[in-house]
Structure 1
Amino acid sequence: MSFEPQIPGLFAPGQGARPAINTLAATEKQLQYAQAIAQRTGTALPQGLSGDRAALSAWIDAHKTKAPGGRFANYPSSKQVAFAERIARIKRRDIPRECFRDKDMMSKWIDGNKPR
């Protein structure tokens, strides 16, 4: 058995009711990044996004430049390789050769060998 209010409009927004969802305000860095994207692409930053971190993040994801594709797009980054090499030295293990050609494989190797 569930409880349903019998008074129509009791929880309506027009009556002063507010949603129970608390949205976090966007961070200063997030706002600066969004403004830089808007300036670079020539699009306007929608009003009211500074009050909602998730909405601003979705706008940023939709408007930021995509990573370049190409021959080396799937290779691990230099920071990822350096981190894996540091783990390999600590654990005294070798990194498999195929990990240097696939960033997802390198990520799995790092996750499986991270010092706890």
Structure 2
Amino acid sequence: MSLDHATPDLFDYRDAQPDLPLGQPLAATEKQMSYARILAAKTGDALPRGIERDRAALSAWIEAHKAAPPAGKFANYPSSKQVAFAERIARLKRGTVPPECFQDKTLMSRWIDSNKPR
């Protein structure tokens, strides 16, 4: 006995879900909308109509309008908040932050993650 003859289209998904991919996009989150409004105010651009109904479209708009990351000689240096946090951790542990961490924000981030109190 074979299942193929008894139920020939049991596993045929085309009839059960004819309109894949999903037709309705996910709505934008409140955080997304808040950030987009702030960006729109800073840049002077208006948000497109109906963009709050499409999370992916709003993400694309945000990517196109957000400020470019800083470039230049000091772009890879850790922020002052990162340095202050690392120094506070070092004081708590009665140690020091390695000097190379002050030259690279990724190293500083890793040092903070591996040394912060749990």
Instruction: Give the TM-score normalised by the residue count of structure 2.
Output: 0.70
| Cα distance in 2 for residues equivalent to 1:98 and 1:85 | 14
**Which of the pair has more CA radius of gyration?**
2
Paired letter, 1:59: W
**C-alpha root-mean-square deviation of aligned residues, in Å?**
3.2
Runs of 5+ in structure 1 lacking a partner?
Answer: none
Question: Aligned residues, how many?
Answer: 110
Report Cα offsets for 1:2-56 as digits up to 9, x if no partner: 711575xx6445xxx99398724331x5324323433544544233221234432
- Give me the identity figure in percent: 56
| TM-score, normalised with respect to structure 1 | 0.71
Counterparts of 1:5-84 in structure 2, within 5 Å, are 5=13, 7=15, 11-12=17-18, 19=22, 23-27=26-30, 29-41=31-43, 43-84=45-86
- Cα distance change on mapping 1:51 and 1:22 into 2, 3 Å: closer
Runs of 4+ in 1 over 4 A off after TM superposition: none
Q: Give the AA of the match of 1:98.
A: E
CA distance in 2, matches of 1:98, 1:6: 58
